[in-house]
Structures are given as structure tokens and as C-alpha cells.
Amino acid sequence: MTRLYYFFAFIFLVTRVDAQITYGKITYERKTNLYKQMKDENVKNWIKEEDKIKLEYFELFFNDTCSAFKPQESELKENFAWATSKNKVYQNFNNSSRYTIKDMWGEEVHISDSLFIRKWQMTESTRKIAGYNCRKAVWRANDTTRIYAWFSYDIATSTGPESFNGLPGAILGLATEDGGIVYFAKKVELIKADEAQLSPPKKKKVRNIHDLKKEMEKEYGKEKWFKGMWHAQFGIW
């Protein structure tokens, strides 16, 4: 009886591994609460209550070795484009590298770095997102900021929105503790991305993250806002 139990348990595990998704495209909706993000009493003077939630859409292409996270292209006019960032993030799991493209002060900055390493705390909380069962994990970014992630074991690649990874499955939901920024997958498609979709564009000037920090510290290090800006831009996302 014991042998029979282990036999069926083995078959179940093998079937589960074989059934895991190793490539595809995930479409995310991002909701940003501009009132919570800006934390400025005067923000209500130029952003109305009905406009405080900004919706944006992103795409994540992935296979078992890399992923590419990008804003979804749209010809529609965007309100308050200046209020949020639209990063492009390419993660390579074979060589543990990350390539990020950020729009900083009107300039597109290309940055090379290693993959983010986060200490996740697993929970027993679950929910269904885009038709997939997901489990919740928590990352404490600092003393005041926690990030919640919902990942699916059914999608094998350890990736997610922005620079997020490190969980035993793709992240389909991601949110700051205060709900200021929330990503949720709207659709998962079994699409095999080509090399061009997964590879970062070639750029002559690519900054190393450490060199960029030194460069910016020299220019803005004495400003009161610099430390918080750097952590928000490069320490979380």
C-alpha cells in the first residue's frame, strides 16, 4: 500500500511539472492612486477626485530563461503622463542580469545591473487571478514599505512586473501595502516570444547602476529629496 501511495504521488508531481507553463505573455493592468503616490496636500488642486486613479497597461513576455516587461503601446492620449513612470525591464535568469530603461527627467536612461534579490515571506493566503490559483508572499522593502505579491505555481518562470522575481512561479498580482500602486494580470496567453521581444535594444551609452548612483550623488546628493527618490526608483521597482 505504501509503495502504491508513493507511486501515485510521484506520478502527480511529474504531471504537475509537465503541466507548468514555461513561456507566454502576461498582460497587466496597473492602478496608481495619484493622491497616495504624491502625498502632497496641493495635489487635489490640479487632479480631481474622479481622476485620482490612473490606469495603465503593461506586457510581460517570458520563457524559461528570460523575461521582458514593457508598457503596452497605445495611440490614445494619456492624462497626467508625468505622474507615473513606465519602466522597461529585461531579466536574464541564466546570467542573473537585469537591463532597465527608465525615463528620468525627459531622458531615456539605460542601466545594467544584477537581478534583484529579495527575502520573501510566504503566507497561506490565496486568490485567483486571470484564472490561475495564486499564493500570497510579502517583501519588506524597508521599515515603512511592504510589497504584496501573488504568484502562481502553474507558471514556472520566476518573474513578474517591473524587476520582481524570486518566487516559485510568475507573479500575477503585485501591490504596495497602502494600495498606492497595484498590478493585476488581466490575461495570460501561451505565446512564444521571439528573440527581438525578449532582448533589450542596443544602446551605445549603458550605465552601470553603481556608476549612475555616484554620478547622481555628485549632482544631487545634498538635496533632501535625493535619498527617497533613489530608493523609490532603484530600491523597490
In a domain, 72, yes or no: yes
In a domain, 112, yes or no: yes
In a domain, 28, yes or no: yes
The full 3-state SS of 19-61, as one line of letters, equals HCECCEEEEEEEEEEHHHHHCCCCHHHHCCHHHCEEEEEEEEE
Amino acid occupying residue 222: K
Per-residue pLDDT at 19:
63
CATH of the domain at 104: 2.50.20
Q: Give me the residues paired with residue 68 across strands.
A: 61, 90
Per-residue pLDDT at 104:
79
Environment class of 121 (CB within 10 Å of its CB; exposed 0-12, middle 13-18, buried 19+): exposed
Task: State the Cα–Cα distance between residues 164 and 151, nearest whole angstrom.
Answer: 11
In a domain, 150, yes or no: yes
In a domain, 226, yes or no: no
Beta-carbon contacts of residue 31 (< 8 Å; ≥ 6 apart):
53, 54, 55, 181, 182, 184
In a domain, 222, yes or no: no
- Which phi and psi (to 5°) does residue 66 adopt? -160, 170
Neighbours of 170 (CB within 10 A): 28
Q: Tell me which residues of the chain have a pLDDT lower than 70.
A: 1-19, 40-41
- Total tally of structural domains belonging to the chain: 1
Per-residue pLDDT at 78:
77
Per-residue pLDDT at 142:
84
In a domain, 236, yes or no: no
Q: Residue 141 sits in which domain range?
A: 21-206
In a domain, 211, yes or no: no
Task: State the Cα–Cα distance between residues 103 and 110, nearest whole angstrom.
Answer: 9
Distances (CA, A) of 120 to 60, 176, 236: 21, 14, 13
- Which phi and psi (to 5°) does residue 10 adopt? -65, -45
C-beta separation of 122 from 137 below 8 A:
yes
